[in-house]
Homo-oligomer: A and B are copies of this chain.
C-alpha cells in the first residue's frame, strides 16, 4: 500500500489492484484510478453478472434491463460540481441533463428522474430555490418528469452547500441496441461538436480567468439528438457522452471493452481556438477535458454520412465531424495521427485534470 500516485502511463499493469490506503481525489476523476476502484473493489462485490446483465461498460453507461415487454435503461449520477453556478449552466441543469444524457447513451428515451439532495446546514434557501427552478426548466426541455426525491441535511463543514444525485429510468425503443460490444472494425467515429467548453468554463471561474468573448459550458441535453440518431436503427452501434476524462478516456474505454483499435485524425477533431488557447495556458489537453453536451456516435462506414447529416441539422450539435475509424490493428488502444501522418497512443490519465468538474 502506498499513497504515491501510480504512473498513469504504466501500461505493464493496466488494471492494478488498489495501490492506495486512502481515497484520492483521482479516484473520482474518470481515469485509471477510478477504474481501478470500480474494477478492483466495486465489481468484484456487486458482480460482473450485474455488469453483464447491464451489457454496459463501466463507468458511465446505463444498465439495460428487461421488465415485461419493455427494455428499461437505468442509471445514476451524483453532481458535486464547484462552483454551483458557472457560465452556461449550474449544478441543477447538469444534474438533469447529465442523467438524461446517460440514459440516451443507451439509446433510451429518458422518462423519469429522481432528485436526491444533500444540503449543508447554512446554505441559503435562495441558492436552493434557483437550483431547483433550473432543474425543472431542464426537465421540461428534456421531456422527463422528476417523480421521486429525498432530502438530507449534513452539519456545516460535512458537505459543500449542495450535492445532487439524480437517477433515471428510460425506455429503449425496439430495434435499438447501443453498446460498445457492437463496435466493429471499419466503423466510423463521429463527434457531435467542439470539445472542452465545460471544463474550461469551470476552470475560468475557479482561476478567475477572463477570456475574450463568452466561453460558456456546452452543458445541454443530448436526448433530442439521440432520438433522431435512432432513425439509423441497428446501424447505431455505440454512443458515449464525453464527460469526466473527455474524448480520449471515452474512446480508450470503448477500444478496451470492444477489443478493437481506434485511429483518430487529429485535424478533424473540433476545438475552438479560445478553448485551445485556454488549455495551453493552463497546461491541459483538450482531448481529456470534460464536456457536458457532446457525444460520439460509432456507426458502420455506410451510415457515416447519414449520421453526420442528422448531427449537422440538430441544434445540440456544433461543427460535428467524422474524426476516426475503428480498426482491427492495435486492439485495445487509441492512436492519434497528426497531419504529418505520425501517430501516438493515447492512455488513460490516472485521474481528472480538473477535480469536481461535474
Residues of A within 8 A of B (CB): 18, 20-29, 34, 37-38, 41-42, 45-47, 49-51, 53-54, 56, 58-59, 61-63, 65, 67-70, 72, 74-80, 111-112, 114-126, 128-129, 132-133, 135-136, 139, 145-155, 157-160, 163, 165, 167, 169, 171, 355-356
* A38 / chain B contacts, CB cutoff of 8 Å: 149, 151
When chains A and B are docked, how far (Å) is the Cα of A57 from the Cα of B197? Answer: 41
When chains A and B are docked, how far (Å) is the Cα of A120 from the Cα of B22? Answer: 10
When chains A and B are docked, how far (Å) is the Cα of A77 from the Cα of B114? Answer: 9
Pair A41/B150 contact, Cβ less than 8 Å: no
Show 27 residue pairs from A and B whose CB-CB distance is below 8 angstroms, ordered by the A residue: A18-B125, A23-B125, A25-B121, A26-B153, A41-B132, A42-B115, A45-B133, A45-B135, A46-B132, A46-B136, A46-B149, A47-B136, A54-B147, A62-B148, A63-B147, A65-B112, A69-B70, A72-B72, A74-B169, A76-B114, A76-B115, A118-B118, A150-B165, A155-B355, A159-B159, A159-B160, A169-B169
A46-B136, A53-B145, A169-B169 known; A151+B119 contact, CB < 8 A: no
The 4 closest A-B pairs by CB, nearest first: A28-B153, A167-B167, A76-B114, A68-B70
Pair A23/B123 contact, Cβ less than 8 Å: yes
A28-B119, A67-B70, A80-B154 known; A129+B41 contact, CB < 8 A: yes
- This chain's copy number in the assembly: 2
When chains A and B are docked, how far (Å) is the Cα of A28 from the Cα of B147? Answer: 19
* A74 / chain B contacts, CB cutoff of 8 Å: 112, 114, 147-148, 169
Pick the contact of A76: B22, B121, B167 (CB < 8 A). B167
Pair B118/A77 contact, Cβ less than 8 Å: no
Pair B112/A355 contact, Cβ less than 8 Å: no
Pair A114/B59 contact, Cβ less than 8 Å: no
* A356 / chain B contacts, CB cutoff of 8 Å: 152, 154-155
When chains A and B are docked, how far (Å) is the Cα of A268 from the Cα of B27? Answer: 51
Max chain B CB contacts within 10 Å: which of A27, A70, A129, A171? A27
Pick the contact of A165: B27, B76, B135 (CB < 8 A). B76
When chains A and B are docked, how far (Å) is the Cα of A281 from the Cα of B38? Answer: 45
A77-B150, A355-B153 known; A125+B50 contact, CB < 8 A: no
A116-B77, A118-B78, A123-B22 known; A157+B157 contact, CB < 8 A: yes
* A61 / chain B contacts, CB cutoff of 8 Å: 148
Pair B45/A132 contact, Cβ less than 8 Å: yes
Name the distance in Å between A48's Cβ and chain B's nearest Cβ. 12
When chains A and B are docked, how far (Å) is the Cα of A51 from the Cα of B112? Answer: 12
Pair B22/A125 contact, Cβ less than 8 Å: yes
* A77 / chain B contacts, CB cutoff of 8 Å: 116, 150
* A47 / chain B contacts, CB cutoff of 8 Å: 136, 145-146
A145-B50, A150-B59, A152-B28 known; A124+B22 contact, CB < 8 A: yes
Pair B69/A69 contact, Cβ less than 8 Å: yes
Pair A151/B76 contact, Cβ less than 8 Å: no
* A49 / chain B contacts, CB cutoff of 8 Å: 145
Name the distance in Å between A142's Cβ and chain B's nearest Cβ. 13
* A133 / chain B contacts, CB cutoff of 8 Å: 45
CB nearest neighbor in B for A170: B67
Pair A24/B121 contact, Cβ less than 8 Å: yes
CB nearest neighbor in B for A73: B148
Pair B125/A80 contact, Cβ less than 8 Å: no
